[in-house]
Structure 1
Amino acid sequence: MTRVTIQQVAKAAGVSPSTVSNLLNGRTERMVPATRDRITRAIADLGYRPNRAARQLRTGRAQTVGLIVPSVGNPFWGSFARELEVAALEVGCSVLLCNSERNPERERRYVEELWDDGVRGIVLCSSLPSLDHLADVVSRGLRLVTFDRPAQPGDPDSVVSVSIDNHVGGFLAAEHLTSQGHERLTFVSGSLASVNRTGRFRGFCTALEAAGLDPSAMPMWTGIEDTPFGDVEAADVGRQAAHALFSGDEEPPTGVVAINDMTALGFCRGLRDLGLRVGRDVSVVGFDDIILADLYDPPLTTVRQPIARMAALALDEVLAEEAREAGRSVLLRPELAVRESTAPPALAVGSTTPTAAAAATSASLTPSQNGGAR
C-alpha cells in the first residue's frame, strides 16, 4: 500500500506542507480554526500517518523511545515498561520494547535497529558492567539512559543512569532478618555478573558483618549453568535452590534473601514442596515488590523500588534537550515492605529436615521445575 505523504494532505486541505507540519507539531497559535479543521479532515480522509523517524531526525526531538529490558518474563520489567509508557504518552511519545536477556550481542543488534528506525533515545535495563558493545552508536549521538545501573568507570561521558541504591536494598533485606535473630542466612540468585545484583549481594554481606556474622560461612546459591541470569526462569531458580539447600547434609538456613521477588516466590514454592512453612520454619525476603508479592500466601516481605518515579526520571533524562553532565547518576533509596513471610527463627528449625516423601518430591521435579533449559 502506498504511503500517504504530507504533500498530499496539504493539497487536499488547500494549504502548504509547512502549514500541515505546523499542525502536526503543535504550532497552531496563529492558525485559524477553519484551517485546522480542513487539515484534520484531510488527514482522516486520506489515512495519513506521520513518518516518525523522519520527523524525529528533522526536529531532533525523540518522538519514540526505545526500552530494552532483560525479560518481561519477570513481572517487574512489565510493570516498569507500563510506567515508562504512561509517562511517555503524557508527553506525546511512544515506547518500543525489546527483551535482551542480558545478551550483549542481542542488545547491540536491537540498538542498531532502533537507531536505523530513527530512535535517538533508549533506556537500557540490563545492568551489564560494560557498555563497550554500544559505544559506537553512543558516539553517533544516541542518548542512552541506563536503569538500575549506576555510572561505571569506562562509560561514555554522555550516558546517564537512574537507579536505586542496590547496596542499601541488600543491606535492608539482610538486616531485617538479623534483627529478628536469624544467624544462618543464604543469598539466592542467578549469576551475579551484573552491576545491580553485585550491589545487592554486597549489601547483604555488609549487613551480616554488621551483625557479627561471617558472610563466607553462609551457604550461597547462584543459579545454574544453562540459565546464568535466570531472568526468564527466576521462579525455577528459586525453587531449585530450596530443594538443594534443604535436601542436603549441610545445616539449612533459617532466613533467605532472594535477588528478586520471582526468585523468592519460587523458593517459597520449593519450601512447600518439602513440607516447610514460609514465615514459620524459614523466613524469605524478596526484592522489587511486584504485585504478586502482596498476593502470595503468606505475603512476601520485600525491598520496594519506587518504580513509577524511576520510570518518570528515566524518561526525563532520555528526552532532555541538552546533554547532562558527564557520568550523571540519579540514585534513589529503596525501602523495606515487611509482610508475613518473615519472623524470628523457630526454635526447632535447626533440626528441621525434609521428610523422605518431600525428598522424593524433590527428585521427581520436571527439568523445567529444576531450572533446566526450556
Structure 2
Amino acid sequence: MDGRTRRETLSGVTIHQVAEAAGVSASTVSNVLNGRTGRMQPATLARVEEAIGRLGYRPNRAARMLRTGRIKVIGLIVPSVANPFWGALARELEGIALAEGYHVLLCNSERDPARELKYGEELLADGVIGVVLCSSLPSVDHVAPLLKRGLKMVAFDRTAQVGDPASLASISVDNAMGAELATRHLLELGHRRLAFISGSVHSVNRRERLRGFHTALEEAGIDPSAAVVWPGADTSEFGDKESAELGRSAARELLSLPEPPTGFVAVNDMCAIGICRGARDVGLTAGRDISVVGFDDILLADLFEPPLTTVRQPLPEMAAETFKQLRASIESTAEAGRSLLIRPRLVVRESTAPVQE
C-alpha cells in the first residue's frame, strides 16, 4: 500500500481501497475526486461516489499541498477572540509563522471539548498536522486520539499536567506568580479586604491564578477564606466572551456590601475593565476609592481610563517559543514535548492607589 496515499486520508481508507470497492482503477477514483468526469460513464461515476460515501473516504487536499511545498499550515484554537488577548496572540503567532513560510488557521472553541475535537479532526483531515491549543482545560483526553494519529500539539497558557501525553508541549506564563505579584501590590498599598474576580476556575491557568492569590494572602498573614472569590469556584461558565460584564456585575454587588473589598484582582484585563465600570456605576472610581489589577496587559489596558495596573504576559516571547516548539515537533520525530514557564511582570498604572482610610 502506498504510504503517500495513506497520509492523504483522515480515516486510513486509501484511494486503492475505494477503487477496489467500486471495481475501477485508482486513476478513475482520482479523476472523480478532481472533477474529471466528463467522459466517464454515469454508472461508473455512481459506483465510485457510492464507494467513497460508504467507506468514509476523505481526500486530504491540504496534505497534497504540504507535500508539494506549495503551502504550510498550522492551526490555532483559542477560547474566543472576543477577549483581545487571544486576538493579540493570533497576530503575534501569524507574523512569526508567515516569516517562516507558514500560514495560520484560527478557530474559536469557547473551551468546549467537543468543539475542539471537531476542529482538530477537520484540521487533521485537511493536512494540518500542527496545532496550538489555548483552552487550558485540565485534561486533553478529548484530543488524545488525534495525537495518536500524528497531530502535533502545543498547549498554550497551560502548564503540563499529570497524565498528559508525552508528546504534548506546554508553553505558559507563570500564572501563579502573576497573581502573587498582583495581590502583593495591593497588600503593599495597604489593602486588606481583597476579592478575586474570575468566573469559573475550572481551567488550569485560572486555578493557578487563584492559587497565587491565596499564596500572597497567606504570606501576609491573611486567611485566604476571608477573601472573596466571585462568583465562586464552582460556577460552570468560563465566560470568555462575558468577562467585562462579569467584572461589572461583581463590582456592583460587592461594592454594595457593608464592608466591601477595597482591592480587586481580576482574572484578565477585560474583567478588570468591567470592575472599573461597575465601580463607576455605584459612584466610585478605580484608582481613588478602590484599586483594581488586571492580567494580560492588552492594548486597551493602557488606553482605558484610568490606565490599568496589570500583569503583563510577554506575548512576543511566548508566541515565538510556541511556534518554535510546534515547528520542531512537526519537522522532527521527537516523541517528548517540551514545557516552558515564562515569568510575568507587574505593570503599575493608575487603577491602583493606597487604601483610603
TM-score (norm 1): 0.76
Taking the aligned partners of 2:255 and 2:76, their CA distance within structure 1 comes to 39
User: CA deviation digits over 1:314-341, x for unaligned, max 9?
Assistant: 1111111225563521110000000010
Shift in CA distance, 213/325, structure 1 to aligned 2, threshold 3 Å: farther
User: CA deviation digits over 1:146-187, x for unaligned, max 9?
Assistant: 000011111111000111110100100001111111111000
User: Paired residue for 2:304?
Assistant: 296
Selected match of 2:274 from 266, 277, 285: 266
Instruction: Give the residue type in structure 2 aligned to 1:183.
Output: R
SS at match of 1:152: coil
Taking the aligned partners of 1:88 and 1:223, their CA distance within structure 2 comes to 39
Aligned alpha-carbon RMSD (Å): 1.8
TM-score (norm 2): 0.80
User: CA deviation digits over 1:125-155, x for unaligned, max 9?
Assistant: 0000000000101001110000000111111
User: Paired residue for 1:156?
Assistant: 165
Taking the aligned partners of 1:100 and 1:68, their CA distance within structure 2 comes to 6
Taking the aligned partners of 1:112 and 1:282, their CA distance within structure 2 comes to 47
User: Paired residue for 2:51?
Assistant: none
User: Paired residue for 2:129?
Assistant: 120
User: Paired residue for 1:53?
Assistant: 63
The answer to whether the aligner puts 1:326 opposite 2:344 as a matched pair is no
Shift in CA distance, 153/323, structure 1 to aligned 2, threshold 3 Å: farther
User: Paired residue for 1:340?
Assistant: 350
SS at match of 1:193: coil
1:1-374 matches, within 5 Å, as: 52-57=62-67, 63-222=72-231, 228-249=237-258, 251-320=259-328, 321-324=331-334, 326-347=336-357
Is the contact between residue 157 and residue 172 of structure 2 (CA under 8 Å) also seen in structure 1? yes
Unaligned runs of 5+ in 2: 1-60
SS at match of 2:225: helix
Is the contact between residue 310 and residue 347 of structure 2 (CA under 8 Å) also seen in structure 1? yes
Q: Number of aligned residue pairs: give it.
A: 295
User: CA deviation digits over 1:180-205, x for unaligned, max 9?
Assistant: 11111000001000000000110011
Instruction: Give the residue type in structure 1 aligned to 2:76.
Output: L
Taking the aligned partners of 1:171 and 1:323, their CA distance within structure 2 comes to 39
Q: Residue 309 of structure 1: CA displacement?
A: 1.1
Taking the aligned partners of 1:206 and 1:121, their CA distance within structure 2 comes to 36
Taking the aligned partners of 1:180 and 1:77, their CA distance within structure 2 comes to 31
Shift in CA distance, 164/139, structure 1 to aligned 2, threshold 3 Å: same
* Percent of pairs with identical residues: 60
Taking the aligned partners of 2:333 and 2:256, their CA distance within structure 1 comes to 54
Taking the aligned partners of 1:236 and 1:225, their CA distance within structure 2 comes to 19
Unaligned runs of 5+ in 1: 1-50, 348-374
4+ runs deviating over 6 angstroms: 223-227
